Structure 1
Amino acid sequence: MKKWVISTALVAAALAGASPAAAAPPEGKGPPTPPVPASGTLTNCGFPVDIQLTGKVKNITKPNGIVISTSPGLKITLTANGKTLNYVITGVSRYEFLSDRIEVTSTGRNLLLLPSPDGLYLTTGNVNYALNLDFTELRRFSGSGTATNICPLLAP
């Protein structure tokens, strides 16, 4: 199974070289709100992609343990091979920590990072996916939204 970072909110952690915890968070606790670095480099496309982020990321943990991750005003610039892409990624993701998996619903525009060379996916609309409790991929992208790998747009 492939391991991947699970949300726009966790993009910042991935850019800083961190990854989600190796197990589900303790009861009632969600992933920490990461600081949003100003810049970094990703290798999810199989080649280096320089990024620059601006905006905010916030995680809200509800009493039932569901985590809602928001990113108001979050913008990302991706640069590679002399090409530049700019996206507003202000989507919202909802994480439900079940006994055997993590169910995620992302709405709006989000950037999901899959391990190299699977890519960087811009999702729009309502996209659902599931993770095992160790954050490995269980089910990729279902729902009425779209998922577009943007690596080909930056490829040499």
Structure 2
Amino acid sequence: MIRAFKEESQRAVLKTAHSELALMEAIHKIRSDRTDYIARLDRLRNAVDSERNRLLRDEAISLVWNRQYAIRSCRGEINWLVYELCKALYELAELDHVDLNGATYMQKVRLISQVIPGADPGGIAEGVREYHESRRRWPMEYLKDGVGHAGREVL
């Protein structure tokens, strides 16, 4: 039956079968290796999470820029473009732990007016109203997880 195991596993198990000292040394080594391994994994996970967050933030900012450009280029009604800008800002707010959906209608209007100064105030008001009504009872994703409450900021 022992031969059903991989060769490396066979050697490791049989090496400690008859020697208590070898067994204790092996246990100590594996615990030490595991601690080092876990520390390395944590460092790697933090680096990967940091890089992932940077990429997600860059993507969210790019989406905001595209929406700003679309609004500035638009010669007609901008209300749906403003709605789409609000959605793009939601993605960025999610990453920055800002409770955009918890903001009042007027706070959102002021935010959008800052993001696209000089745009038609009526179009901004209508687009923000559509967004505000559709998301009023929709909590930010990071708040659903129960994480990030300490860093929570409402506009």
* TM-score range relative to shorter protein: under 0.3
Larger Rg: 2
* TM-score normalised by structure 1 residue count: 0.24
- Scaled by the length of structure 2, the TM-score of the pair is 0.24
Structure ranking higher in strand proportion:
1
Q: Which has the larger share of helix?
A: 2
